[in-house]
Structure formats: structure tokens, C-alpha cells
Chains A and B, each alone.
Chain A
Amino acid sequence: MFSPSHPLQMFFGLIVWSAWFVSLYGGLGVVCKLAPPSPDQGVMTWVNALVLVLGMALSLFLLFCARRCWAVRSAAQCLSARERDNQRFIASAAAGVYLVGAFATLAVALPAVMLAPCV
């Protein structure tokens, strides 16, 4: 399952993105209910900071995963041509998904640079 050519790798990047997206929206709802930062603080709140830091950390993680999958394309010389072809297909598709996943993760966090959390 942790192998870069496991079929689940083709979806894992976006599963991470989905979890991030749901946590972002749900978490913001909970924070705004329980401990809303003052609107006077504008974007300089711990919520904005947390969103940006977590967004960047997750994006870096996904980029790392993308690189790991991409590297598999040239490996696995011991396999038959058919199996190698199969593995390359999965690994390179997974790398693409991770790459877009990393971009999407950062993209949805970026508005925290200019918007206050609970207004």
C-alpha cells in the first residue's frame, strides 16, 4: 500500500486534499462558533496563520509524494515488460494527481492571506 506503484497512490493525493478541504470548512465553522477571533484583527489571526502553515505543510508533503512516484518510472527493471508498463502507468498517473493535489491544497488555503476568518 505504501509502494509508489500501488494503485491507491492514484487517489491518495486527492483523498488528502478532500480531508483538508472538509477540515478547512468544518473547522472554520467550529472555530467561528466556539472562539471567533475579533473582526478588528483582520487577517492577523491565529486561524489565518494555521490555515496557511497547514496548507503549505500539506502541499510540501504532496510534492514529496509526487516526486517519489515519478522516480518509480525509471526503476523496476527486474519486472516483465507488461508489469513494468503497468507500474509506470500507475506511478506516473499518481505523480500527476499528487502534483495537482499539492497545487489545489495550497490554492484553497491562499485566500487566508487576505480574508478575515469569521466575517
Chain B
Amino acid sequence: MKPDQMTDPLIQSNQERHRTFDRVWGNLPGWRALSAVNHTTIGLRFIVTGFMFFLVGGLLAMLIRTQLALPEQDIVGIELYNQLFTMHGTVMMFLFAIPVLEGMAMYLIPKMIGARDLVFPRLSALGYYCYLFGGLIILSSLVMNIAPDTGWFMYTPLSSANYSPGPGSDFWLLGITFVEISALSAGVELVVSILRTRTRGMALSKMPVFCWYILAMALMIIFGFPPLILGSILLELERAAGMVFFEVAGGGDPLLWQHLFWLFGHPEVYILFLPAAGIVSTLIPVFAQHPLVGYRWIVVGIILMGFLSFGLWVHHMFTVGIPQLALSFFSVASMLVAIPTGIQVFAWLATLWAGRVVFHLPMLWILGFIVIFVNGGLTGVMLALVPFDWQVHDTHFVVAHMHYVLVGGMLFPMVAGLYYWLPHVSGRMPSDTLGRWGFWLVFIGFNLTFLIMHLTGLLGMPRRIYTYEAEMGWGWLNLISSIGGFVMAIGVAAVILDIALHFRFGKRATLNPWNADTLEWAMPMPVPTYNFASLPTVETRHPMWENTDLPQTIASGQHGLAEIQHNRRDTWGSDAITGKVREIINLPSNSWIPLQCAVAIGVLCISLLVKAYLVAVLSTVAAVFLLLRWSWHNGGHPSVTPLREDDPTDPPLHSRTFDGPGLWGMVVSLMANGTLYLSLLFGWFYLWTASPLWTVPENGPLALMPLVASGVLLTLAVLLYGRGLTRLRKRNADRLGSMFWLVSLLGAAHVLLLLWILLDAPLQPTQTAHDAVLTVMVLYQLIHSGLAVILTALQAVRLRLGYVSAQIPYEPVVIGPFWLYTLGVFWMSFAAFVLLPMAWGGS
């Protein structure tokens, strides 16, 4: 227990209970804290690491502004300048903005919904280490002066091996893919946690509005990131193995990269905006001391934004030569997104109007957000107009717009949230004076930098040029922008100083210091590792306003799950809609496996960078082994929740049910996986319709009848597995082990046959895009089928050992959707990659 916690009255009056909980939920001391999986620790690690990267990105920005301050300067030189702006964008977008917001979500969500942790704590830890190692790998390229230098969106052919022969692009592609494992794991984690671990009674309609925002953000990550992951894999395969995807001569198309990138890139803007808007929607009612006006309409706005933002990606490609009617679809969609934004802005204004606003420090940042973001939104509508976009494309106007949206729409609310929840972490209040200095310096500096930049852009200054001639007349504007940049940097330094000093000199925070309405304030400060000593029933959106003695009754164990049994980390599992309690979810404790897995994946990443392919193979095997070991320590394993006579039955432990969080996690993961597969299908059809030199061979390269036979074997395996599950659902596990072995054998036969077909096929993936895409598709199928076989064989072994049984049916049920997905992919691929080419006249 932290020394500061001992002084909290909630803990002092319930010391024995808190000691017991802290022993079970606490991290290990010293360096062994690296094995921590607790959401409070992991969330804070994300936030602190993200701000470290922010300082690096800010330093790069200052170097850029120094170089551009006056015309015809040669302070950093053209090559380093290219690396600087590429790394500035990359660091800020991938290593700062998303991870910090994810960290805040990871930290806050369980506390807001009345849970003790996120639902897959080890996944959180894996995500953090992947993020940390991936970020360090990317940054190391800058230290070695071999950083990527083709812009943060890596357009081909500039980023291809011909024009970027150095390792810079490889660092970006491999490093970012590594980091994206982190984003996806956070996405899965947050979706399932919000839907399945809310406390008793918290129906969807009573959920804190912040949770709606994070739910939408997490789902957008699930659907938004896979296209970029696929694009990065394809581009790396093209660079490292010579396969053809983006090269016109082989039937590829560089515009395919732009589509895949912006299919991720535009939703990404809203992935950043939504959690920030969630902070705004949480803070405004608190500082107006009035419930949020139009909660229901805000939820509608969030859903609309989540969907509409996926229909905008081509508005980054208005100048590439797309038919006008197609452009207009995206232009209209870009304007439509103003509807949900407008709903939210008006709801915020109405709440401020209806309440009595208290201008504490966080509220100042919120007002700054409203001013800057509304301006950024207006220039966004201007850019949605195709003719205007053509005029200012690739100028500083776009840079200014982007920073108004991102800094205004994300950084300002983020700092507001940081100040707001600071007492939670430290138990102390920030300094009002230094904090206000920080705000005004950042606000003035930001507008000085970027308001002026609109004008620089309208005067025609292109982005990404390292210098300009004095005769262009852009000198004084750039000087003002650079001065503004440094003023902003001083403001950031003041904020950092304020936060650093408050840990030592800040006034001790009282319970619920802002008089907030949400549940995260019903706990001692600084927060304990287990969040709540007992889990309350919540049937209102404002539990802390309507039930002011909640902190005391929670701490004294007057609510649910107030006792610890068998040293288990327990939290409620509830119905996704109504919030009725359905099971007790038993969460894993501290574990080294996430760190070990991340190290193995990190070695894989580095070995690919240095082209040490044998090491790459070995590290892949190690990573797969460790991940399977992770799955082994689950369910009825003796170290987790073996069958006991005193097992609770009402509600039961989640591993005794058929609809536990693992099944939800699998389904959400498959949604991400399915998006990756659909992106591959999109690539296939896109190249067919758009690539000028796309060719289909006369005869299909894959042997047709063996392919059908392989599909039949897979179908039989899936049918048999489904039959096994049906019996298990009737609590009958007789001969289930034999069935699973048979399923594995059928699956293995299917894999071997498919592998033979691939090796026997006259594919030339380095010559034609057709063969390259086909090869990737078959490899994708082989990986999935192979994994399904291994997982099923492991279940057969677990059945024999008694870790799976009629009473513990959890894991085979989780694997069920994976088999179905694998089968669906096979036959869909068969139709798209084999039957359709026959129809369009190829094979």
C-alpha cells in the first residue's frame, strides 16, 4: 500500500479489508513490477510513456520551426529535414496521441463502470510492451540517422525499394505494425470490458457517456487499423521479398497503398477525437453542475460519427484522378459528419447554458478546445469541397487545418482530463496559477503558429519543403509561426512543471474534489489497486450526486463481492444491455508471459529489419510457443480456477459458463481479423478494376480439384467440431477428446493438402500482382487453419487432464467461432480468387 493511501480516511477506517485486497490485487515489489497486469498501472504506464514520446515529437517540431523561421536557411539540411517531419508526424500520431488516449481509457473505464480491472489484464500488459518496444525501435532509427523520410503516410512509390533503398521505410512499416498490436489489443479489451463487466444494474442507458465514446473508439480501432496493418505487410513484402503489389509494371497500383492507408487514416482522426470529446462531455456537466443536456442525442451522435467517419477516406485523395461522381460521394459524406459534431457542440453549449459554470483549470482547457476545434471543423468543411481542396492540396493550409483539429480536438481536452483526474493519481490538487500560465501560453502560442499558417498555405507555400526563397514573401509569416511554436513549447513546459511540482507541493485533495457525478470518484485517493472494496449497484447516470455516501458504503464492504475467495481476483460479469449480473469473472494475476511474448515479437521485428531470417523464424516459434503457454494457463488449470466444492453457483464463475468474456473477445478479435481479410479482398478487386497492367493468367495457378478436396476436409472438421460443442452445451463431454483429435486430424490433412497445392503451383509473386495477392491469401488461410488445428489438439489434451470438462466448458466454446471464420474465409476466397477469375475470363 502506498504511504499516501494510508492517510485516506476511507482506508483508515477499513484497514483490514484493504490490506487483504491489496495483497491479492497489488503489483509485485521492485523490478518484479514489470509483471504487473493491473489496469491502473498499465494505463499510467501508457500515459507516461506517451508523454515522453510527445516531448520527442515536440522537439522535432521545434527543429522544423527553427529551420523554416527564415528563408533560405540550411540549419538541418534537406535529408535530416525529411526525417524530422516524417518522424514528427509518426511519433505524434502513433506513439503519442493514440497510446495516451488508450491509456486514459484503460485507467478510467473499469473505475467508471464499477469493475476492478479490465477483462483481459494480460492483454493490456502485452499491448503496453509492444507499444514501448515498437516505439523504441522506430525512434532508434532517428538516433542512427536512418529514420524514414517519406512522410508519415509513406506513399508509394516514394517509400518503395527503388526510391527509398535504405532501411528507413522498413523501420516505419515493421515498427508501426508492432505498435498496432498494442492498439488492437486495447480495442478488444475495451469493447469487451465495457459490454460485459459493468457493475450490477448499469444498463446501457445508464452508462457514463465517456464509456459510449470509448466503446465507439475501440470499435473504430477494431475496424480502422487492419487496413493499415495489411498495407504495411504488403509493402514490406514488396520491399523485402520483391513481391508485386504497388508497382504498375507488374500489375500493381501505388494508389492501392493510399486507399489502404486512408481507410485507416481518416477514421484515425475520429479515433483521436472521440475519447477527447468523451472527456469534454464528462467534464462540462461537472463544471456546470448540471446533467449533460441531450445524453441520448449525444449517443446518437457518437454512433453516427463512428460510422460516417469510415466514408471519408477518399477526401485525402481528391487530386489523384478519381471520377467526379465518385469524388462527390466522399465530398457529401465529409459534410455529413458535421451533423454528429454539431449535435455534440450544441449539447455542450446547452449544458453550459443550463448550469452555473465554475472556471476551474480543466474548464479553461475545455473552452480552449471549443474555440480551436470549431475553427478546425470549419476549415474541414472547406476542404471537403473538391474545388477548394484542389487549390490548397499539399499546402500549409492543410497542415494548419490538421493541427487545429488534432491539437484543438485532442490535446486540449486531453490536458483538461489530465488536470481533472490528477488528484486520482496523486491525491493532490494542481497549482491554479502555474496551470493558468501554461494554458494561456499554449493557447496563444498555438494560434500564433497555426492561424498564420492558413495564410501561408493560401499564399501557396507547399508543405514538406525544407526552405524557401525570400522573394516568395512567406518569410514574416513563417517567423511569426516559429515564434508561436516556441511560445507554445514554453506553455507545455509550464504544464509539465506544474504537474511535477504538484506531487510534492500540491494541496491534498478532498474526497470527490470537483463534486463529480461518476463512480470513479467513489474511491480512496490515490486509488487502490482493486478500485472498489465492494461492487455497488448503479441504476443512475449520476451515482455520486444521487448517493453521496457511496464512498463509505463501498469501502466498508456493504455491496457485492466484498470477500476474497481462494486469493482470486474477482469482478462482476454482466449482461451487455441490462447490466444484470450473470457471472463472476475471475481475472489473472501478475504474469511475466506478456513481457516474454513482447520480447519475442520485438526480436522478430529487429531480425526482420536486419534481414536475419533464421532468427526471425526462431523468434516466431518462440512467440507462438509463449502465446500458447498463455492460453494454457486459463479456465480450469490448477493455477487458475480448478473445480472446487465451494465454487459459487449463483452467479457461477465465468469458466463454468458458455458465454464468458473469452467468447466475446474472440468474436471482437475476429471482427478485426475479418476487416484485414476484407481489405485484402478490396485490394484484389481494386487492382482488377483500376490497375492499368493487371493481368490474369490463362490457367488458374492453383489445382482446382485438390483445392476443393482441401475445402471439403476443412468443412468436415468444422462440422464435427460443431457437433462436439452441441454435446458440450448439453453438459455431455463423453468421447469429446476423441472427437477433438479427429477434428485436428481432418484439419491437419486440409492444411497439408493446401500447403502442397501452394508449393506445387506455378505462382510468380515477384512477377505479377495477381500471383502475389493469391500467395498472400493462401498463406493467410494456412496460418488460420494451422492455428485452429493446434488449438483443438490442445483442447483434447486439456480434456484428458481435466482442465476442460462438462463443468468447465469455457475454452472449446471460445475456439468455435475461430473454426467457423476459417471455413468462411476458405470458401469466400475460393469464390473470389478462383471462381470469379474463371468467370471474368482468366482461368
Contacts and interface: CB of A to CB of B under 8 A. Distances in A.
B203 interface: yes
B165 to A, nearest CB: 33
Contacts of B336: 103-104, 107-108
A15 B339 CA distance: 17
Interface string B658-690: 000000000000000000000000000110111
Interface string B265-302: 00000000000000000000000000000001101100
Contacts of B689: 29-30, 32-33
Interface string A74-85: 000000001101
A30 B684 CA distance: 13
Contacts of B433: none
B296 A89 contact: yes
B323 interface: yes
A7 B577 contact: yes
A119 B324 contact: yes
B307 A14 contact: yes
Contact of B333 (A21, A116, A118): A21
B627 interface: no
A11 interface: yes
Contacts of A32: 323, 689
A117 B327 CA distance: 10
Nearest to B840: A34
Given A18-B311, A33-B689, A117-B323, A92 B296 contact: yes
A52 to B, nearest CB: 12
B303 A97 contact: yes
Given A7-B204, A107-B332, A29 B326 contact: yes
Given A29-B689, A96-B297, A100-B339, A108 B325 contact: no
Contacts of B688: 33
B325 A85 contact: no
B571 to A, nearest CB: 22
A86 interface: yes
B308 interface: yes
Contacts of B753: none
B300 A96 contact: yes
Interface string A10-46: 1100110110010011101110110000000000000
B297 to A, nearest CB: 7
A102 to B, nearest CB: 12
B94 interface: no
Contacts of A103: 336
B310 A111 contact: no
Contact of A93 (B300, B325, B329, B686): B300
Contacts of B539: 82
Nearest to A43: B325
A110 interface: yes
Given A100-B339, A107-B336, A108-B332, A115 B300 contact: no
Given A25-B326, A92-B296, 11 more contacts: A7-B577, A14-B303, A28-B323, A32-B689, A85-B205, A86-B205, A108-B336, A111-B328, A111-B332, A119-B323, A119-B325
Interface of B: 203-205, 296-297, 299-300, 303-304, 307-308, 310-311, 314, 323-326, 328-329, 331-333, 336, 339-340, 539, 576-578, 685-686, 688-690
Interface of A: 7, 10-11, 14-15, 17-18, 21, 24-26, 28-30, 32-33, 82-83, 85-86, 89-90, 92-93, 96-97, 100, 103-104, 107-108, 110-112, 115-119
21 contacts: A10-B303, A21-B311, A24-B329, A26-B685, A28-B326, A33-B690, A86-B203, A89-B204, A96-B296, A97-B303, A97-B304, A100-B300, A100-B304, A100-B339, A100-B340, A103-B336, A108-B332, A110-B332, A112-B325, A118-B325, A119-B324
